[in-house]
């Protein structure tokens, strides 16, 4: 089963726990509209500060979604979470050296996403077994 429209039973509650005891933004209340947002970033790593920014950006993105390629994350978020995510990331990057791109595929993304090759995305509609 590929990526499909998230249903309440797949998203309600906490799906993942990340480091530092922080609960992921995957917890969404019933009735909220969930959007698929693809985030890409390019962070300059020529300095130690840039390498630190890169790690912070990746960690924040992992709190909201799943890495599907280097510097590419798929995030299932509601509008409030998406706004918070953008603010968190914008506060970390150096806009003179780094860039962020947000692709909003919305809540009707099922036919907009296809995958070929290794590392398929985690199916958030199906059962999660750890």
DSSP conformation letters of 56-121:
HHHHHHHHHEEEEETTEEEEEE-HHHHHHHHHHHHTTS-TTT-EEEEEEEES--GGG----SSSPP
Q: Is 42 a known ligand-binding residue?
A: yes
Dihedral of CA atoms 91, 96, 98, 103 in degrees, nearest 10, equals: 80
Residue ranges of the annotated binding site are 42
Residue ranges of the annotated binding site for Mg(2+) are 42
């Amino acid at each position: 089963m590929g990526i499909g429209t998230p249903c309440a039973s797949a998203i309600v509650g906490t799906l993942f726990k990340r480091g530092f005891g922080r609960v992921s933004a995957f917890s969404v209340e019933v009735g909220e509209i969930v959007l698929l947002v693809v985030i890409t970033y390019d962070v300059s790593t020529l300095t130690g500060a840039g390498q630190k920014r890169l790690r912070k950006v990746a960690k924040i993105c992992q709190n909201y979604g799943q890495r599907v390629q280097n510097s590419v994350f798929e995030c299932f978020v509601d509008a409030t979470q998406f706004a918070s995510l953008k603010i968190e990331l914008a506060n970390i990057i150096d806009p003179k050296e780094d860039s962020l791109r947000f692709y909003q595929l919305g809540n009707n993304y099922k036919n907009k996403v296809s995958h070929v090759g290794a590392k398929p995305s985690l199916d958030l509609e199906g059962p999660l077994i750890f």
